[in-house]
Chain A
């Protein structure tokens, strides 16, 4: 596994001419990340992570303040104090804990292999090791949300439970074992969650992400801001500029670890398919991701990725104005005289690296607009 990962990184660095590129963030983990699965079973060694980080820093520029996150579950094996300290020592500076819930019934329902007690314990162990740079996932609208927020550091992800096809819970739901709350109840839970988070000093800076004291996730913002990213390992996805075709490319790696590994050995990479993105794809993706964040899509960022097209030339401004009037969206054309003043309350959702971009204005959702953004986006695009 270790060798294949290293091999794949080297391959992509060559293929996409990434030598010397500065790194924003690294994230170990994802739904299908085999490395994390192995680690959670106590199999993956810190040495593997170390080799990966070494390779990256040898070819690219990995600055001190790069965010290097590792995902872990709330079970004792994956969060053993000594092991976490080892991970910390090789350079991992942020931990993402998949707590999901602090309710025993929920955890069983979700098929988690940790108990509530173990989850809380993991958090307590991890906090000092990572200097409080620990975030966790929680399904909202469940009991003990306040308790979780009390224990939280400066970042949490609060999700609505989504039932995906192929999961055991989906099958049970289809069999009628569970009922899904009504849309009104869902809306209530969403609103209450935002309210409670606020009381604890957390700001909703993206649909499901909350921070306080400026602890935005750099990595998540990387996706939303349109940055290039490489997907390494089985099942990983990437979005990266391809110098050969002079276009942005989406990459899809082989899902199954054994197949991925054997292809790495054969070809040096485990990619199963890549697709070229059109300029239209790039623009739509920026708007789609951007409008899910409170900072929105800035005019300067859009221009950067659109071959110089202005944001207002691309979107349906007639619709936008109507949504602005009804307080679903806020529009700032970067002109001082018409600028909608950002009040101190608004400022909190702007990560410091992005503050500069705002001077040219942009489009962003209001809190009310964010709750229905899936309705709005298709209507402002042609």
Chain B
């Protein structure tokens, strides 16, 4: 058990632990005691690494600490039963970030799935219920961010004192601003040597026109001035304005799947009351549900059996199918319909990739795993797909490439699946001569050269508007990069004397692969990037590139490329494939081709020798074990012609191909 609370003295530590151990089971919270005016719903928005999760942890600790600090040790015994459940974060927790629950998130320092937490806080002799609504911190999850923000009345705009405003800061600011949220700027990491707090305050004033007179200057890491934040939250952010006696209107802003209880919904109660046992209806699907459990996140699920207008918590509705929980949906009491809240949009995946089991026998198990994962993530679209080369699989649509990586990692880590993920592609719109059009989400459906010239009048590709903030010295590099990715500069503004904010129209296809990594490497990590959807634009310069192995096209390796990329990518792919495909019993020819025209060719010579030297009586056990392993390995191989591809080897490199 690790306890890291540097500020407390030893004796205090000990009494905390005692208290915690004794009282952990006796809990009850009466939410009826918290009318809307005692509630604040807020979020934290920030660029990656500006300290959002650390600040959230500090606030959670603080609300636990507060209860302890404002009551003397002598009082503890008498108030325990009431106080202990109100302690938001237990002393057992280390310095780890409670809100970021996925491993992937911890590794990357980003928050993918929003995790929300309720805190109890005493201010001016009044108990407040503060709901910190977490927002996903990545550009792929714009819609989710906007829904999480819609459940709040205010937000903390957290900016790193040395890095200043970054692209995501700006993008999130505009999202919050457009929803009329109260925005409270907070400068973090002011204790860093490189901090330039005054400059960052100027940026905030100039770019966002926010009042910075009493701006919070904190260090979430050391806890410096963090205690100033919650009083400001209470004073500046308005309480939710719902009508507790009105008809129920509940707003679903997040959901995930739990192995034990099924789909868990996070809802903000806008009007009315919601209790365990109530029957409610989804405005989007018209499906009726019983409320099986309801409560707050504290920080884990804590059943209160009741929530009313202004409150935020989890609701378990025995939803069995993932896609039943639509982010942005409105729920009302059965037979008492209300107008749904505005802003609902069905999920719109923009990056598609094929996913195939490495071992075909795993198909059914993987199918279940994917279904479960989609329970957890309603923004994923799933369609069965059959590939000549890879067999049965799925074409899965993601909100972006990070979303895809997260999905794949969760599939591998949480469901122990081995999968092949093909090159991601964006949906192209093909307009035919006869006026019809279709969306192509898979390179194998892309019209071949002759069909292109005969029947297709127009090809459209999805575009994004990118915001890039970059220090002046890297400007040239970044502009070159955007140019190389068919970017068109739309706006150019000096943020201050050191940095520039640019807006570029870019084809989505150009940024789904390694654009972000390239941007980071060309700017020594200083450039930041965010984007929003800007619809479709005509593009007559994309082509389908086929990969042929021993003259046979491998559908799963086909890619849609811009004309200018064909020569380089064609050569690169042939080379990389020849490096990763293990030698076979036969010579393997790898070709990349556009229509009938070969772009590049590589040859892998056949294996000449693979035979164990010694094999007598004593060697047999070892040899038989090896054979078992080889047979196991054979299951993982996919035959393409006479070639056995050990796909997981290839796969590692597939994603690096552009």
Name which residue of chain B comes closest to A229, CB basis. Answer: B617
* Distance, CA A203 to CA B624, complexed state (A): 27
Question: In this assembly, does B611 line the interface, its C-beta being within 8 Å of a C-beta of chain A?
Answer: yes
How many whole Å from B332's CB to the nearest CB in chain A?
59
Contact digits for A186-198, partner B, Cβ 8 Å, 1 yes 0 no: 1100110000000
Stretch at the interface among A83-91, A331-339, A372-380: A372-380
Question: In this assembly, does A121 line the interface, its C-beta being within 8 Å of a C-beta of chain B?
Answer: no
Known: A288-B627, A378-B631. A223 touches B617 (CB 8 A): yes
How many whole Å from A295's CB to the nearest CB in chain B?
15
* Distance, CA A69 to CA B398, complexed state (A): 69
Known: A187-B609, A288-B627, A372-B610. A237 touches B642 (CB 8 A): no
Known: A284-B627, A378-B630, A379-B634. A208 touches B614 (CB 8 A): yes
Q: Which residues in chain B, 199-252, are within 8 Å of chain A measured between CB atoms?
A: none
Which residues in A have their C-beta under 8 angstroms from that of B610?
A: 371-375
Question: In this assembly, does A160 line the interface, its C-beta being within 8 Å of a C-beta of chain B?
Answer: yes
* Distance, CA A379 to CA B610, complexed state (A): 14
Interface residue from B586, B620, B644 paired with A239 (Cβ < 8 Å): B620
Contact: B609 with A376, CB < 8 Å? Answer: no
Interface residue from B585, B617, B618, B642 paired with A372 (Cβ < 8 Å): B585
* Distance, CA A229 to CA B617, complexed state (A): 9
Name which residue of chain B comes closest to A188, CB basis. Answer: B608
How many whole Å from B245's CB to the nearest CB in chain A?
71
Known: A322-B642, A376-B585, A378-B633. A370 touches B627 (CB 8 A): no
Contact: A207 with B608, CB < 8 Å? Answer: no
Question: In this assembly, does A346 line the interface, its C-beta being within 8 Å of a C-beta of chain B?
Answer: no
Which residues in B have their C-beta under 8 angstroms from that of A378?
A: 627, 630-631, 633-634
Contact: A292 with B618, CB < 8 Å? Answer: no
Contact digits for B135-162, partner A, Cβ 8 Å, 1 yes 0 no: 0000000000000000000000000000
Question: In this assembly, does A281 line the interface, its C-beta being within 8 Å of a C-beta of chain B?
Answer: yes
Question: In this assembly, does A31 line the interface, its C-beta being within 8 Å of a C-beta of chain B?
Answer: yes
How many whole Å from B586's CB to the nearest CB in chain A?
7
* Distance, CA A340 to CA B630, complexed state (A): 30
Name which residue of chain B comes closest to A207, CB basis. Answer: B611
Name which residue of chain A comes closest to B607, CB basis. Answer: A372
* Distance, CA A237 to CA B620, complexed state (A): 10
* Distance, CA A376 to CA B586, complexed state (A): 12
Name which residue of chain A comes closest to B626, CB basis. Answer: A374
Which residues in B have their C-beta under 8 angstroms from that of A281?
A: 624
* Distance, CA A377 to CA B616, complexed state (A): 17
Contact: B613 with A381, CB < 8 Å? Answer: no
Contact: A292 with B624, CB < 8 Å? Answer: no
Question: In this assembly, does A183 line the interface, its C-beta being within 8 Å of a C-beta of chain B?
Answer: yes
Interface residue from B585, B608, B617, B621 paired with A328 (Cβ < 8 Å): B585
Contact: B613 with A208, CB < 8 Å? Answer: yes
* Distance, CA A381 to CA B630, complexed state (A): 10
Interface residue from B607, B609, B615 paired with A190 (Cβ < 8 Å): B609
Residues of A in contact with B, size category: 35 or more
Question: In this assembly, does B436 line the interface, its C-beta being within 8 Å of a C-beta of chain A?
Answer: no
* Distance, CA A231 to CA B607, complexed state (A): 37
Contact: B613 with A159, CB < 8 Å? Answer: yes
Question: In this assembly, does A326 line the interface, its C-beta being within 8 Å of a C-beta of chain B?
Answer: yes
Known: A372-B585, A372-B607. A377 touches B618 (CB 8 A): no
Question: In this assembly, does A65 line the interface, its C-beta being within 8 Å of a C-beta of chain B?
Answer: no
Question: In this assembly, does A64 line the interface, its C-beta being within 8 Å of a C-beta of chain B?
Answer: no
Known: A281-B624, A378-B630. A371 touches B614 (CB 8 A): no
Name which residue of chain A comes closest to B632, CB basis. Answer: A378
* Distance, CA A191 to CA B609, complexed state (A): 9
* Distance, CA A370 to CA B613, complexed state (A): 11
Contact: A372 with B608, CB < 8 Å? Answer: yes
Which residues in B have their C-beta under 8 angstroms from that of A229?
A: 617
How many whole Å from A120's CB to the nearest CB in chain B?
24
Question: In this assembly, does B12 line the interface, its C-beta being within 8 Å of a C-beta of chain A?
Answer: no
Question: In this assembly, does B623 line the interface, its C-beta being within 8 Å of a C-beta of chain A?
Answer: yes
Question: In this assembly, does B612 line the interface, its C-beta being within 8 Å of a C-beta of chain A?
Answer: yes
Name which residue of chain A comes closest to B586, CB basis. Answer: A326
Contact digits for B614-658, partner A, Cβ 8 Å, 1 yes 0 no: 111110110110010011011000000010100000000000000
* Distance, CA A46 to CA B362, complexed state (A): 61
* Distance, CA A379 to CA B611, complexed state (A): 14
Contact: B611 with A381, CB < 8 Å? Answer: no
Contact: B611 with A370, CB < 8 Å? Answer: yes
Contact: B611 with A372, CB < 8 Å? Answer: yes
Interface residue from B615, B618, B620, B644 paired with A207 (Cβ < 8 Å): B615
Contact: A220 with B642, CB < 8 Å? Answer: no
Contact: A250 with B621, CB < 8 Å? Answer: yes
Name which residue of chain B comes closest to A139, CB basis. Answer: B613
* Distance, CA A373 to CA B608, complexed state (A): 10
How many whole Å from B581's CB to the nearest CB in chain A?
14
Contact: A375 with B614, CB < 8 Å? Answer: no
Contact: B609 with A223, CB < 8 Å? Answer: no
Contact: A372 with B609, CB < 8 Å? Answer: yes
* Distance, CA A281 to CA B620, complexed state (A): 11
Contact: A288 with B623, CB < 8 Å? Answer: yes
Contact: A284 with B624, CB < 8 Å? Answer: yes
Q: Which 10 A-B pairs have the closest CB atoms?
A: A187-B608, A378-B630, A187-B609, A160-B613, A374-B610, A159-B613, A371-B609, A375-B610, A372-B610, A223-B617
What are 13 A-B pairs with beta-carbon distances under 8 A?
A159-B613, A159-B614, A162-B614, A187-B608, A207-B612, A223-B616, A238-B617, A250-B621, A285-B624, A326-B585, A326-B586, A377-B630, A379-B634
14 additional A-B residue pairs with CB within 8 Å, beyond A292-B615, A326-B586: A30-B618, A159-B613, A220-B616, A229-B617, A236-B618, A239-B617, A284-B627, A288-B623, A292-B611, A372-B585, A374-B610, A375-B585, A378-B634, A379-B634
Binding site for A on B (CB under 8 A): 585-586, 607-618, 620-621, 623-624, 627, 630-631, 633-634, 642, 644
